[in-house]
Structure 1
Amino acid sequence: MFVDTSKEVRDPDVSAIAALDEPTRRRLYDHVVRQSSPVSRDEAAAAFGLARKTAAFHLDRLAEESLLDVVYERRSGRSGPGAGRPAKLYRRSTKQVAVSLPDRRYELAGRLLAQAVEESDVSGEPVRQVLHRKAEELGAQLGEQNRTDVFDLLERYGFEPRHEDNSIVLANCPFHVLAREHTQTVCGMNLHLLRGVLSGLDETELEARLAPGPGRCCVRLQPAT
């Protein structure tokens, strides 16, 4: 799931947000998402006094960026022969778009913490112990699902890895604010997450260790002992 930084990579969320920088397109997007039912090209064009072709162009661009979903419905209420072709309609996409610089992954942390609390409540196992196990399981899944170089995987998830001697230093913590305020809990979670990643990738030459320092993630990947 990570990418080689030597190559130009299209981030779909960045591209989606960039698409909204065009004023007419942004107005059309805002109009569609405020409606209680899907909007046709003709309705969108009429709302802003645009040519139908212009409205269609911008609506389709928003759909290409997954900001709007396309549905087809017959507005006449009739069906069968003679009912005409279904109209192409647009509505808000179910996709959530977010961009953070530097990269942050608070949703991932929140999901792990919520799972740990819920399972602990049922099983009686200490929350922190459950959290570490859940984090390691998730890390292993990420590694298994994205068979690639560990450096590339870390880059894709926003850790900003850098080679330092024989180790990999992580210049960015995707859980920065949480780690600053709840250091022991979040750094422990992060450590086990990255141990799981190494396991999922069958990476035996590196191990994840806590090595906090100013301006970097609390975890460091160093040669296995």
Structure 2
Amino acid sequence: MSWDASVQAVAVLEEPTRRRLYEYVVGRPEPVSRDDAAGALGIPRTTAAFHLDRLTEEGLLDTCYERRTGRTGPGAGRPAKLYHRSDREIEISLPERQYAVAGQLLAAAIQDAESTGVTPREAVNRRAHEYGETLGRAVRDRGGLLQVLEAYGFEPRPDADGIALANCPFRRLAKDHPQLVCGMNLHLVAGLLTTLDAPLQAELTPRAGHCCVRITGRPPLTNAADDTVSSDG
């Protein structure tokens, strides 16, 4: 989900009845019907149906259909619409963090280190570089380098010497494990830049209140769809 979609999904829980219905559904071991939910909360069935469907539209719940009588064939009636928790994960953080990304990179790196014999740090850096390359390939789809950096939580701030990154997506991890996480961040951004066509490089320049990585060189002046941007090193 995009950040905007995640905010919208969480915002629907502000309505008290809707939030109570969500808590009821996720607290049940089996999918629940509209009648179940209405009876449990003491509200009209139409009200329960409205809010349950809204929760489904926002991706917080999923639905399935089942004949609860156990009967099948002609005369068994229509299956009941049932609600259960969605498998979709929704995270909101301000400023934006990407701890799930860090977890995936670190877990994959441990597997690589065990199977190939490289050091864990080498494996982390390689995985981060590869992930950065996937972000670089998204530049065309998202409109440009700055948009990709923004989408992944770096809060880019172009200046005369390059691009400052005002937010670290892995801030808590970087605070406790600076050498490991800042190195991972450096290789991630470097991987992104290698897919582009511009004289940009990633450097470690720790600065209070910012990401430890800075992009040096002049960023592209346009984000036109037919322009490409990449590092010379």
Residue segments in structure 2 that go unaligned for 5+ positions in a row = 218-230
Equivalent residue number for residue 4 of structure 1: none
TM-score, normalised relative to structure 1: 0.91
1:162 counterpart residue number = 157
C-alpha RMSD over aligned residues: 1.7
Q: 1:205 aligns with which of 199, 212, 223?
A: 199
The alignment status of 1:143 with 2:143, answered yes or no, reads no
SS of 2:137's equivalent? helix
Alignment-derived partner of residue 176 in structure 1: 171
| Contact 2:150–2:156, Cα closer than 8 Å, also in 1 | yes
Give the one of 187, 191, 202 matched to 1:192.
Answer: 187
| Residues 116-135 of structure 1 aligned to structure 2 (within 5 Å) | 116-135=109-128
Give SS of 2:136's match.
helix
In structure 2, what is the equivalent of residue 6 of structure 1?
A: none
Deviation for aligned residue 1:47? 1.0
The offset of 1:193, in angstroms, is 0.6
Q: CA deviation at 1:39?
A: 0.6
Query: Cα distance, 1:145 vs. partner?
Result: 4.1
**Equivalences, count:** 217
Give aligned-pair identity as a percent. Answer: 54
Are 2:55 and 1:77 aligned? no
Per the alignment, residue 23 of structure 2 pairs with: 30
Structure 1 residues 6-21: aligned runs within 5 Å: 11-21=4-14
Q: Does 1:107 align with 2:100?
A: yes
Aligned partner of 1:39 among 6, 28, 32: 32
- Secondary structure of the residue aligned to 2:169 is coil
* Shift, 1:216, TM fit: 0.6
SS at match of 1:83: coil
Provide the rounded CA distance (Å) in 2 between the counterparts of 1:76 and 1:93. Answer: 25
Helix, strand or coil at the partner of 1:11: helix
Measure the CA separation in 2 of the matches of 1:20 and 1:191: 38
Matching of residue 88 in structure 1 with residue 81 in structure 2: yes
Q: Once the two structures are superposed, what CA deviation does each residue of 1:59-82 show, in whole Å capped at 9, x if it has no partner? A: 011111111111111112122222
Structure 1 residue 10: Cα displacement = 6.6
Q: 1 or 2 for the larger relative contact order (CA 8 Å, sep ≥6)?
A: 1
In the alignment, structure 1 segments of 5+ residues that lack a partner are: 2-8
Structure 1 window deviating more from structure 2 (73-82 vs 87-96): it is 73-82
Map 1:47-66 to 2 at 5 A: 47-66=40-59
Partner Cα distance (1:149, 1:85) in 2: 50
- 1:5 aligned residue: none
1:63 partner letter: T
SS in 2 for 1:71: strand
> 4+ residue stretches of structure 1 with deviation over 4 A?
none
Matched-pair contact (CA < 8 Å) for 2:139–2:145: no
